Amino acid sequence: MVSGPSLDEAAYVRGGATQTAVKILVVGHFAVGKTTFIGAISEIEPLSTEETMTRAAESVDDLKGVQGKTTTTVAMDFGRLTISDRVVLYLFGTPGQQRFVQMWEDMARGALGALVLVDPERLADSFAVIDLIEQYGLDYAIAVNRFDGSTPRDESALREALDLLDDTPVVTCDARDERSSAEALITLVRHLQDRAH
């Protein structure tokens, strides 16, 4: 029997005031830090479907620029973050590999928006992800994940490279850091509120 986080209601629904549940996708290309991001910010033990990468995956997944990666998400990551007495975010992390894209349609149903994590050294890998999010009609914000040793990028150059609309928020974050990750999510939530008005 597989052990993991408790699946009873109390594990995922905070007691007390009436809350509005908001479904948010955390998306991005392979090895951009989605599992790390949800793990850093979730107030509950995150549900993760990380599995050890096999030799068979080497011929399918592009490991260029991600040496040392030994695990990968095969279904999804799930976490929760309460941002006020009234609003709780349910975070769904998608797998980054193209072969898992068929799962995205189901995960996108009911989502209010998406936080797109990007690696500034592998911007081209984000094009297909952004296309999918736009195809599903989701509003989104871009979170540029700071990797050790990466060169800071100019926001206008990032916007141009990713072909973003002027009102699409772009923030920098460190997926390992709770505060930095929370700020990225708050930027997305504010953007979604602005779009709703």
**Residue 19: predicted pLDDT:** 77
**Residue 145: predicted pLDDT:** 94
Distance of CA 122 to CAs 30, 31, 52, 148, Å?
Answer: 10, 10, 23, 14
**Residue 20: predicted pLDDT:** 86
Nearest by Cα to 162 from 120, 101, 111, 194: 120
Q: How many domains would you assign to the chain?
A: 1
Identify whether 160 is part of a domain.
yes
Instruction: Indicate which CATH number applies to the domain containing 50.
Output: 3.40.50.300
Torsion-angle region of 124 (φ positive above 0: left; ψ -120 to 50: alpha; else: beta): alpha
Identify whether 5 is part of a domain.
no
Q: Which residues of 20-29 are buried (b: 16+ CB within 10 A; e: fewer)?
A: eebbbbbbbb
Identify whether 140 is part of a domain.
yes
Identify whether 90 is part of a domain.
yes
**Residue 188: predicted pLDDT:** 96
Enclosing domain of residue 112: 18-196
**Residue 107: predicted pLDDT:** 84
Residues 73 and 50: beta-carbon distance below 8 Å: yes
Identify whether 52 is part of a domain.
yes
Distance of CA 156 to CAs 17, 72, 146, 160, 168, Å?
Answer: 42, 32, 17, 6, 12
**Residue 66: predicted pLDDT:** 55
pTM: 0.78
Identify whether 10 is part of a domain.
no
**Residue 6: predicted pLDDT:** 45
Identify whether 28 is part of a domain.
yes
Identify whether 2 is part of a domain.
no
For each successive 10 residues of the chain (197 residues), what is the average pLDDT?
45 59 93 92 80 53 54 70 89 74 80 95 92 93 87 89 96 95 95 90
**Residue 171: predicted pLDDT:** 97
Residues 110 and 23: beta-carbon distance below 8 Å: yes
